[in-house]
Amino acid sequence: MAGGIKMPGEEKKQQKQEFWRWTESNWKNPDLDWNDAKIVTAGIDVGSVSSQAVIVTDGRIFAYSNMRTGSDSPESARNALNYALKGTGLPEDRIDYCIGTGYGRVNVPMADRSITEIACHARGAHFLYGPEVRTVLDVGGQDCKAIHCDGKGKVTDFLMNDKCAAGTGRGMEVFADLLSVPIIEVGDRSFDIEKEPEPVSSTCVVYAKTEATGLLRSGWKVNEVLAAYCSAMAERIYSLIERIGVEERFAITGGMAKNKGVIDRLMKIMNIEPMKTEWDTQIAGAAGAALFANTLVAKGKGRK
Amino acid sequence: MITAGIDCGAKNTKTVILRNNEIIGKGSVLTGFDQANAIEKSLEEALKDAGISPDDIEKYGGTGAGMEVVRQADTQVNEIKAMAKAAHFFFPSARTVTDVGAEMGRAAKINEEGRVEDFDINEKCAAGAGAFIEAMARALEVELEEMGPMANESDKSIPMNAQCAIFAESEVVGLIHAKTNKKDISKSIHDAMASRIVSMIRRIGVNEDIVMLGGVGLNPGFVESLRSELEVEKIFVPEDPAFGAAVGAALVAQEEG
Amino acid sequence: MKANYGYKDGSGDYFITIDTDKCNGCRECVSACPYGVMGVGPDENDPFSDDEVAFVTEQERKKIKYTCGPCKPMKNRPPLPCVAACGPGAISHSW
Ligand code: SF4
Ligand code: SF4
């Protein structure tokens, strides 16, 4: 907004949006042609912050989209599916079976069935990272999940914490907002410090905010407070994983996988090398859903 | 004998001066980020209120989250003991006492002498403390003091899904967008909060009379939600519930001094 | 599968773990729990299984610390009704 007079409220609103920005994207597999496919399935993951749609043809990822979740789940699901199909030439009615997952899973109108995000994340991670994966950590906008799975991507142990904002994307957002730091800069800026500070001691996000305000007042730099919160968050996430234990190999999915301020610190605590993937880590849930759909159709259970 | 009880809490630091079982002075200031300073200020205020000089005070008792910072303290008084003493002091018939402050909630079962028989504490999560109502007041854009009276004007409680203060904030914002009456939202907030304290009280047993101390005791909406959740006639709240722990500390200093 | 329902917040860990390999879906826990914390149905985390298993109901997952409170008095704690009712020993509480 160059020039012109900004109303104070307007500026605040603008800034607020700025802090949450990340890029929406879609992708189509250049090696696949849907005309050759026997089974076409879709998985739609409507999360609290982002929604993804993945299209699978004969068990391989054909196309996907990753978008911001809007104000209601049905519309977010619709937008995600449209965006995934965009430019692929694949007509929607060619989809044999569609599964909804995520926090808004019961509100995915085009889904033939819904499956929990726990099951879908395990299945999706198994695909994205390969069958060696045994522990999947997913830090979402409003929850944190730790899952163990076997060589087939079947869940053997899990916990999900969606009661408390500490250790979730929301906790980080609250902090980014408090410190007026765009969320995508959190990682880099948290390492732009002279010495790693002690982590923020309060787990509770409400109390951590008060603590952070105190730190700023006593002269801490914004980046130092960010670093202190990132490491508190890493410790918090680790304490959740500890409950089910870590079995190698270890993979991280979800939006937080992209925040190295937290993840690098977490890896240091765990002293572990996470698995790598070429795929967008945020599509794990939707990919798992689409793959489940594929299996169901292949087994003849999934015809409408 | 003149004693002073200083309760350095998460939000406010309170001092009470006691002369032979009679409260003669009080002082309360925001704790802020400098506890030592808050302690001095609240003590000064209480001395002025009592019209006495520091030399008149024979013993000091310190309590609260920052009790270690109370350098004057001859005795550091455990918060549970302080609240039990205070409840017994105000209402000798008290058998259950709950103290809900800005950052903690506690409940204790006490006997006829004001001795603690059992207790439970909830801390480190804002969902079970006064901070929860404060955060909700911000989300509702209502003054904290108005929250309770507003709630008491409503007879409709809408179920709230979120337990966490952070998530509840968004839920409240959503309810406002859906044009839900703010009075009803306020009632739901107090009911939700009260049910957490009640479950703590149930763990130690509901024994009447029930006394409430702590800053949240000033909130009539909360006291009413607590009363109805516990299904009792009355919750006994002293005139200045926020000074409860400070009174307890002064009493212990007097006994042990 | 070990299904951990519940949460960890600033104040502590509150998880009810169901070992679905041990659970036989008999529903004894559902009748035993005075507060409707337990439920039995298809295993929602294993979409290909046809066995019914126990779980913690959706509406209680975020508040079991409070809902289970009365079954966990501070003094002289009796065995938990759900745990005692479960023949195969599939239920455990973390707190
Ligand atoms: S500890 Fe804080 S962030 Fe966590 S549930 Fe409680 S209020 Fe929410
Ligand atoms: S009592 Fe035990 S075996 Fe029976 S349904 Fe409950 S958890 Fe399963």
Is the pLDDT reported for residue A28 higher than 60? Answer: yes
Q: Are B49 and B246 in contact (CB under 8 A)?
A: no
* Contact status, residue A301 vs residue A113, Cβ threshold 8 Å: no
Cβ within 8 Å, pair A119-C15: no
Q: Which residues contact A10 (CB under 8 A, 6 or more apart)?
A: none
A149 interfacial to chain C (CB closer than 8 Å):
no
In this prediction, residues A135-163 reach a mean pLDDT of 95
Tell me if A261 sits within 8 A of A267, measured CB to CB: no
Quickly tell me which residue has 């006593």 as its tokens.
Answer: A218
| Atom nearest to C10 CA in ligand 1 | 1
Q: What is the pTM of this model?
A: 0.90
pLDDT value at position A8? Answer: 38
pLDDT of A9 reads 38
A138-274 homologous superfamily: ATPase, nucleotide binding domain (3.30.420.40)
The class level of CATH for B93-237 reads alpha beta
Q: What is the pLDDT of residues A169-202, one digit of tens each?
A: 999 999 999 999 998 899 999 999 999 999 999 9
Nearest neighbour of B195 by CB, restricted to C11, C62, C66 = C66
Yes or no: say if C16 and C91 are a contact pair by the CB < 8 Å rule.
yes
pLDDT at A79 over 80: yes
Q: Which residue of C has its CA nearest to A206?
A: C10
DSSP secondary structure, A44-63, as one string: EEE-SSEEEEEEEETTEEEE
**Which residues in chain B (151-180) have CB-CB distances under 8 A to chain C?**
161-164
* Number of domains observed in the structure of chain C: 1
Q: Which candidate in B197, B203, B207, B230 is best for mutational testing of the C interface (most C CBs within 10 A)?
A: B203
Q: Is the pLDDT of residue A18 over 90?
A: no
Identify the residue whose C-alpha is closest to ligand 2 atom 8.
C23
Domain boundaries, chain B: 1-91+242-257, 93-237
CA distance A142 to A147: 16
CATH class belonging to A25-130+282-298: alpha beta
CATH code of the domain made up of B1-91+242-257? 3.30.420.40
A-chain CB neighbours of C10 within 8 Å are: 164, 166, 202-204, 207
In the predicted model, is pLDDT for residue B147 greater than 70? yes
Over residues B162-203, the pLDDT tens digits come to 999 999 999 999 999 999 999 999 999 999 999 999 999 999
Given a cut of 70, whether residue B7 has pLDDT beyond it is yes
Is residue A244 within 8 Å of residue C4, measured between CB atoms?
yes
Instruction: Single out the residue of B61, B17, B66 nearest to residue B38, CA to CA.
Output: B66
Q: Is the pLDDT of residue A258 over 90?
A: no
Contacts A206 to B, Cβ<8 Å = 126, 131, 135, 165-166
Residue B123 has pLDDT above 80, yes or no: yes
Look up the CATH number of the domain holding residue C42: 3.30.70.20
pLDDT in tens, C57-72: 999 999 999 999 999 9
Q: What is the mean pLDDT of chain C?
A: 95
Q: Is the pLDDT of residue A272 over 50?
A: yes
Exposure of C77 by Cβ count < 10 A (0-12 exposed, 13-18 middle, 19+ buried)? exposed
pLDDT at position A16 over 50: no
Question: Domain extents for chain A?
Answer: 25-130+282-298, 138-274
User: Is A204 in contact with C44 (Cβ distance < 8 A)?
Assistant: no
CB distance from B176 to chain A under 8 Å? Answer: no
Find, among A45, A111, A68, the residue nearest to A288 by Cα: A45
B87-111 confidence digits (pLDDT tens): 999 999 999 999 999 999 999 999 9
List, for residues A41-51, the tens digit of each pLDDT value: 999 999 988 99
Q: What range defines the domain where residue C33 resides? A: 2-93
CA distance A59 to A44: 16
